[in-house]
Amino acid sequence: AQSVAQPEDQVNVAEGNPLTVKCTYSVSGNPYLFWYVQYPNRGLQFLLKYITGDNLVKGSYGFEAEFNKSQTSFHLKKPSALVSDSALYFCAVRDMKVTSGTYKYIFGTGTRLKVLA
């Protein structure tokens, strides 16, 4: 079965330091991987995705993610954290079982990022 794991409920980092939010996945076939961010009382916003190609993917707000096939990971990174990056981050994978043209997205449980001033 397809699945996504975010092993950390919360990550604390000082402003200006690099940040990493971890994600591992289990899929059959080539994965479509995504990161979304949720600010308080808002819906999820797309940050970046990996479909194919370069293993380092760059996205919105200075975030990037590295796809590692051997470790089945897709960690979210940023070189220098901002207080405004504090939010809830979700990793997701597209379920590649295509039946009659339908498909689903599977989300991790989320990691709360707290950037301390």
Partner 1 sequence: NAGVTQTPKFQVLKTGQSMTLQCAQDMNHEYMSWYRQDPGMGLRLIHYSVGAGITDQGEVPNGYNVSRSTTEDFPLRLLSAAPSQTSVYFCATKSLSSGANVLTFGAGSRLTVL
Q: Which residues are at the interface with partner 1 (CB under 8 A)?
A: 6, 9, 32, 34, 36, 41-46, 49, 51, 90, 94, 101-102, 104-110
- Residue type present at position 25: Y
Nearest-Å Rg of the Cα atoms of the chain is: 14
Q: Cβ closer to partner 1: 55 or 109?
A: 109
Q: How far is the CB of 17 from partner 1 (least distance, A)?
A: 26
Q: Cβ closer to partner 1: 15 or 106?
A: 106
Q: Cβ closer to partner 1: 49 or 77?
A: 49
Q: Tokens for 54?
A: 């370069």
Own/partner long-range contacts of 42-49 (Cβ < 8 Å, ≥24 apart): 44/90, 47/76, 47/89, 48/76
